[in-house]
Each structure stands twice: as structure tokens, then as C-alpha cells.
Chain A
């Protein structure tokens, strides 16, 4: 158990509304990641963080923003949700070294 908690686990929202997903970790890991999973695409990196207030974009960052004001929390925000952002979102952390990721249980977002 990597001590990762995602919330909410399920959310249904309407197009144009803001949505924030939260990832909480209990082990003070420096690196945190947000991926989205879609059929036929595997997992794609949205944003990642390498420390408090240090974040960078991944390959599918358009329409998303992130914040990390403290080590344990990494927030993913959709400022104005669109149907194309319907997906399952996974948070992950890594133990520095070999770079293996440990994943949370996922947050399923449906945008109507």
C-alpha cells in the first residue's frame, strides 16, 4: 500500500462546470503524477509535480491545471469540463531510483 488516496472516486458533472480531483499521499514522496486512462490509449500523463509548487506539463495537459501547495496533496483541476475529459484519472507517486510508479485506485469522471 503506497498510501495514496484519490477523491472523489466517482463524479458526474455537466459540460462547462469546474471539477477538482484530489490526490493525497501519506509518505512524503517528492514526485506525484496525474494520468488519464482511455480505451485504446493506455495511460497518458497530464501533469506531474517534483515538489511543492513545482509542476510541469505532460503530453495531454490542455484543459487541465494542477496545484501542489503541500507535499501530501496534488490537485487536478478542470476549469471548464468537456465531454472529451470523460475518463478515469489516476494519481501516482514514485520512489526515487528505479522510477516505478505506485497508483491510486482511480477517479472515474463523467462529463455530460
Chain B
């Protein structure tokens, strides 16, 4: 069965510093992987997705993620944090089969300090 583990429920960085949010997955089939962002009191918005094409995926707002099969990882990075990046981030893997169900990690709350 597919699963996702997000290391670190809270991450704090300084404005301008590197953002690194960790995600490891378990999947019995070639995975489709996603990162979503949730701003306070809002729904989830897709940041980026990996669908077995290029292993380095670029998303919105300057974020990118690299799929590493050997490490079963899909970490999210941004070279320089901005105050507006403060939000909760969720990694997800698509469950196998035709139902398109996503299995989510428990989330990482990113704080950006001035």
C-alpha cells in the first residue's frame, strides 16, 4: 500500500534562507507524487506534481522538488524563503488503480522569520 512520511511537523527558516521540506514515500507501483500548500483558512492548492517525466519538477512560487527513486524521496525546496511562503505543506502519493485517490502526509507547517 502507498504511504507518505513527512519529516518535521514544524520547520522555521529566516527570510532569504533555503527552504527544505522532506517527504518520503512508499509505493508498490511507479508513483505519482504531489506537493500541496495550504494558507490559513483556505483550501489546498497544488504546488507541483511528478508523473514519471523529468525527475526535477518545477512548481509555482519558485518551489521545486526532485524525485529520487533510490531514496524514495520527493523533497520540496526553494532557494530563498519569502514571508508569503508561511503556510502548511502536504506531500501526497496517488494510490494505485483507477480511483485517483491521494494518500496525504501529515503536513509540515513552515514559519518564515523576518
Interface string of B91-114 (1 = CB under 8 A from A): 000100011111111110000000
A43 at interface (Cβ–Cβ under 8 A)?
A: yes
A58 at interface (Cβ–Cβ under 8 A)?
A: yes
Contact flag A100-B104 (CB < 8 Å), given A40-B9, A42-B90: no
Q: Please give the residue numbers on chain A whose beta carbons come within 8 Å of chain B beta carbons, in ascending order.
A: 31, 33, 35, 40-45, 48, 50, 56, 58, 90, 94, 96, 98-106
Interface residues of B, CB < 8 Å — how many? 23
Q: Are A100 and B105 in contact (CB under 8 A)?
A: no
Q: Please give the residue numbers on chain B whose beta carbons come within 8 Å of chain A beta carbons, in ascending order.
A: 6, 9, 32, 34, 42-46, 49, 51, 90, 94, 98-107
Contact flag A98-B51 (CB < 8 Å), given A31-B100, A43-B90: yes
**Bound-state Cα–Cα, A78 to B56, Å:** 42
Across the interface, which residues of B come within 8 angstroms of A45, CB to CB?
101-103
Identify which of B34, B101, B106, B107 contacts A58 (C-beta below 8 A).
B101
Contact flag A42-B104 (CB < 8 Å), given A48-B99, A98-B49, A103-B43: yes
Q: Are A90 and B101 in contact (CB under 8 A)?
A: no
Q: Are B46 and A100 in contact (CB under 8 A)?
A: yes
Q: Are A98 and B32 in contact (CB under 8 A)?
A: yes
Across the interface, which residues of B come within 8 angstroms of A98, CB to CB?
32, 49, 51, 94
Identify which of A40, A41, A56, A105 contacts B43 (C-beta below 8 A).
A105
Q: Are A99 and B94 in contact (CB under 8 A)?
A: yes
Across the interface, which residues of A come within 8 angstroms of B45, CB to CB?
103
